[in-house]
């Protein structure tokens, strides 16, 4: 008589943007008891060090032009592992449901009949800006903020994001994964009526000891990115609130 298949549970866990101190209590608890952990490319060694030493650790990271597995293969791997193990952690940078493709993985698991739970993480749009001393809102300068991706589905540019419409609709714009398309994004924002002198900040490797903040203007953003050799991962922030960081000095302790 064949042994019945295990139907484990998959946890889509947000690891935060890099600093191990931003890992949630729930995330830490799951990493310590996991049977299997599938983790992204940008997970810090300190966070990986928390994983149950007996757990199977599988790197499934994707960087531009270098995918360990396709998104479909990752979902298939999660489904297969749920037939073999009880606690499967899919460890994702930031928050699973903010430009982390957690929605796609969650849907695939549910359709396959696999129990799934989402554990939120601190997204870089919140954490990296705080570590860069940029408040996203302020009663006098910003009553609205939007998170938007600069890297949409492969093969799609013209984008779904209407940058020209967004340009003056929101006070603070936080752009994830926008470096590669900066040459398209900046002209679209200018065409939409955003002031060329609007402050713009690049936050490179946010919340890590390698964090670097470069402040410029929307008009000079493309030239500054090239001159300063801004590298991924980098967050782009646009808005008057950036000017406030000059009035205090409270850098994080890494």
State residue 221 phi and psi, 5-degree precision.
-60, -45
The count of other CB atoms within 10 Å of the CB of residue 21 is 11
Catalytic residue among 40, 92, 95, 171: 40
CA distance linking residue 112 with residue 157, whole number of Å: 32
Cis peptide before 233 (omega within 30 of 0): yes
Q: Is 40 a catalytic residue?
A: yes
CA distance linking residue 87 with residue 155, whole number of Å: 36
CA distance linking residue 150 with residue 20, whole number of Å: 26
Q: Which two tokens stand for residue 37?
A: 């952990």
Catalytic residue among 19, 95, 171, 177: 177
- For residues 236 and 200, the answer to whether their CB atoms sit within 8 Å is yes
Q: What letter does residue 242 receive in the DSSP assignment?
A: G
| Separation of CA 216 from chain center | 23
CA distance linking residue 182 with residue 222, whole number of Å: 7
Catalytic residue among 9, 35, 57, 62: 62
Q: Which two tokens stand for residue 26?
A: 């729930």
Residues taking part in catalysis: 40, 62, 177
């Amino acid at each position: 008589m064949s042994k019945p298949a295990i139907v484990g549970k998959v946890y889509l866990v947000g690891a935060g943007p890099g600093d191990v101190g931003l890992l949630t209590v729930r995330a830490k608890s799951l990493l310590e008891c996991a049977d299997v952990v599938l983790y992204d490319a940008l997970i810090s060694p300190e966070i990986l060090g928390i994983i149950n030493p007996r757990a199977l650790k599988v790197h499934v990271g994707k960087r531009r032009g270098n995918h360990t597995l396709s998104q479909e293969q990752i979902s298939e791997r999660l489904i297969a592992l749920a037939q073999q193990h009880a606690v499967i952690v899919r460890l994702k940078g930031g928050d699973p449901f903010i430009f982390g493709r957690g929605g796609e993985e969650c849907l695939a698991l549910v359709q396959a009949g696999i129990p799934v739970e989402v554990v939120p993480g601190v997204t870089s749009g919140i954490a990296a800006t705080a570590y860069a001393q940029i408040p996203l809102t302020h009663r006098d300068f910003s009553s609205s903020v939007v998170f938007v991706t600069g890297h949409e589905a492969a093969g799609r540019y013209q984008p779904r994001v209407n940058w020209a419409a967004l340009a003056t609709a929101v006070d603070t714009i936080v752009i994830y994964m926008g470096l590669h398309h900066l040459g398209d994004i900046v002209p679209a924002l200018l065409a939409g009526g955003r002031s060329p002198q609007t402050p713009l900040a690049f936050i490179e490797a946010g919340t890590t000891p390698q964090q670097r903040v470069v402040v410029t203007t929307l008009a000079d953003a493309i030239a500054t990115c090239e001159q300063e050799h801004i590298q991924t991962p980098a967050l782009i922030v646009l808005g008057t609130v950036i000017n406030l960081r000059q009035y205090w000095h409270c850098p994080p302790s890494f």
